Chains A and B, each alone.
Chain A
Amino acid sequence: MAFHAAVITFPGSNCDRDMAVAIASICGGTVHRVWHGDATLPEGLDLIALPGGFSYGDYLRSGAMAARSPVMAAVAAKAARGVAVLGVCNGFQVLTEAGLLPGALLRNGGQRFVCRDVALTVGTTRSCFTGGYARDQRITVPVAHHDGNYYADTATLDQLEAEDRVAFRYAEPVNGSARQIAGVLNPAGNVLGMMPHPERMIEPAHGGSDGRVLFESVLHAVGVTA
């Protein structure tokens, strides 16, 4: 069985093509491009990706409008059935606004747009996205965001840590995120939101391939070969 993925495009998404190319080149199979207004998703999906960008011009709050678009009900339904859902950057903001992940992404603490490669540490290997990394492994992945300052109340942060749901942490100051959190998982571990862009770090020409392991991990977890 070949790998089946969907990449959602919202009005204002701008990393959707990069995401589709990364998935196709690493996981093979079919990558469906899905418009936000579609109320249904293809059957048999192994991965749904919400890409980076500035959906709806970041009106109201980053990700707020996209989180209420027709396709998101279908994404939530698939997530509840265990399909892997990856939200990167604006996709992470959409997942928190949709209530599929806890917390919120605030304006960067330093008030500046941050666009550079950053060092991360892998927080857990117990998810379909991080199984190919080693715990505490240091990796380099680029960020490019203005609203990446992860916020949640203390009880939620404690719970995320107690349940091993912090997928990635910044290994250096980046945006003021609570407890240096760069990516979080839902309780079942099949929904990941992260501000750094793994799809931009998948081959040496990108300056490294640390992001490649994330997609290989999903492929391995699903049990199909590229």
Chain B
Amino acid sequence: MKVRVHVSLKTGVLDPQGRAIHHALEGLGFAGIGDVRAGRLIELDLADDVPDAAIDDMCRKLLANPVMENYRIEKVG
């Protein structure tokens, strides 16, 4: 099965990368940009019998840092 793990900075954690992207978009002349947050997408190709709990464990132990990041697990078939 394919699993996507979306990792994003927690609300309130300063995101300098997002701020730089925001600035660059405005520099290109795009208007109406309220906020930009940058995250990370990790795609995993897993055996079908890997339990949900193990995927969650992977996120907490390595893929995301719970101190500053949130994660969302998406199964894409």
**Is A64's CB under 8 angstroms from B16's CB?**
no
**Is B62's CB under 8 angstroms from A60's CB?**
yes
- Which residues 55-69 in B have Cβ within 8 Å of A in the complex? 61-63, 65, 67-68
Q: Can you name the residue of chain B whose Cβ is closest to the Cβ of A102?
A: B67
Given contacts A60-B62, A64-B62, A68-B62, contact A109 B67 (CB under 8 A): no
Give which listed residue, B20, B63, B67, contacts A103 with CB less than 8 A. Answer: B67
**Is A111's CB under 8 angstroms from B20's CB?**
yes
Q: Which residues of B contact A68 (CB under 8 A)?
A: 61-62
Binary contact readout B21-55 vs A (1 if CB under 8 angstroms, 0 otherwise): 00000000000000000000000000000000000
**Is B62's CB under 8 angstroms from A109's CB?**
no
B4 within 8 Å of A by Cβ?
no
Q: Which residues of A contact B65 (CB under 8 A)?
A: 61, 64, 97, 104
Instruction: Count residues of A near B (Cβ-Cβ below 8 Å).
Output: 19
**Is B19's CB under 8 angstroms from A111's CB?**
yes
Q: Which residues of B contact A61 (CB under 8 A)?
A: 65
**What is the minimal beta-carbon distance from B41 to any residue of chain A, in angstroms?**
12
Give which listed residue, B15, B16, B61, contacts A108 with CB less than 8 A. Answer: B16
**Is A104's CB under 8 angstroms from B17's CB?**
no
**Is B67's CB under 8 angstroms from A151's CB?**
yes
**Is A152's CB under 8 angstroms from B62's CB?**
no
Interface size class of B (residues with CB under 8 A): 10 to 19
Q: Can you name the residue of chain A whose Cβ is closest to the Cβ of B12?
A: A153
A127 within 8 Å of B by Cβ?
no
A180 within 8 Å of B by Cβ?
no
**Is A106's CB under 8 angstroms from B68's CB?**
yes
Q: Can you name the residue of chain A whose Cβ is closest to the Cβ of B66?
A: A104
Given contacts A60-B62, A68-B62, A103-B67, contact A109 B14 (CB under 8 A): yes
Complex Cα distance A110/B19, Å? 10
Q: Can you name the residue of chain B whose Cβ is closest to the Cβ of A96?
A: B67
Q: Which residues of A contact B15 (CB under 8 A)?
A: 107
Complex Cα distance A216/B16, Å? 37
**What is the minimal beta-carbon distance from B45 to any residue of chain A, in angstroms?**
18
- Which residues 207-221 in A have Cβ within 8 Å of B in the complex? none
B76 within 8 Å of A by Cβ?
no
**Is A151's CB under 8 angstroms from B62's CB?**
no
Q: Can you name the residue of chain A whose Cβ is closest to the Cβ of B67?
A: A104
Q: Which residues of A contact B19 (CB under 8 A)?
A: 111
Q: Can you name the residue of chain B whose Cβ is closest to the Cβ of A65?
A: B62
Give which listed residue, B14, B61, B62, B67, contacts A176 with CB less than 8 A. Answer: B14
Given contacts A111-B19, A151-B67, A151-B68, contact A106 B14 (CB under 8 A): yes
